[in-house]
Amino acid sequence: MSYELIETNVDTAAGVATITLNRPEARNALSNALMNEVSAAVDVFENDEDIGCIVLTGKGGKAFAGGADIKEMADRTYAQNHKENFVTANWERIAECRKPTIAAVVGYALGGGCELAMMCDIIVAADNAKFGQPEINLALLPGAGGTQRLTRFVGKSTAMDMCLTGRMLNAEEALASGLVARIAPADELMDLALEMGKSIASKSKLASMAVKEAVNTAYETTLSQGVMFERKAFHAAFSLEDAKEGMAAFIENRPARWHNK
């Protein structure tokens, strides 16, 4: 497919696809058209059997995404938002992707940009990254999971601080809070993200999807419900050919050969 507002790349050998937000002149502001293209690209890669991980990043080096496109939002009405299910209609696609996803954040991830990063399974950040939910400065509030996912990541007090004052977290603070998994120098971040993606893609794709679903269940249920879900998924994994192959390879001290069955 051809796109105007994003770039895509596939490393077939590594099993990793990259989606790059491509509006650097606007700090990769998240217009509706851009998010439609992101959603379409996720559809393609999720259905590509050769892809085991998707990396999402922003072009230009100054911002992963500076937020939603305010000019596009300024004249919207409540009725229009409600009728069109504004934001949720296309923004949640990456959160719903069954394959593992990594957000590689260089520079600013603000508002919708922070929310988009949090929709991914893992966030890795450049040492110049800054995360924030500054919607309060516009007399708005986050609308794509910012009050919900952020609270689950960093806890109530820090989430309240960020959402009520508009304060940004730097990369070190984001790492300490649990928002970010790893940090790297800006010029090394994509190498880190792609290496992580390659590692993930080298595993059984069916097992990776099961792990992702189980971890996400921890955010949606009680501990007892989550443990029950995990146990059932663990039991079900023994029906996979890949699980038999993985255990046989371990016993025989050889590399596993996944068939994704």
Say which CATH number the domain at 236 has: 1.10.12.10
Q: Are residues 193 and 233 in the same domain?
A: no
Q: Are residues 69 and 137 in the same domain?
A: yes
- Whole-number pLDDT of residue 71: 80
Condensed to tens digits (0 to 9), the pLDDT of residues 141-170 reads: 998 999 999 999 999 999 999 999 999 999
Catalytic residues: 68, 112, 115, 135
| Residue 150, C-beta contacts closer than 8 angstroms, at least 6 positions apart | 114, 118, 133, 142, 159, 162, 163, 179
Q: Are residues 21 and 77 in the same domain?
A: yes
Condensed to tens digits (0 to 9), the pLDDT of residues 100-121 reads: 999 999 999 999 999 999 999 9
Say which CATH number the domain at 110 has: 3.90.226.10
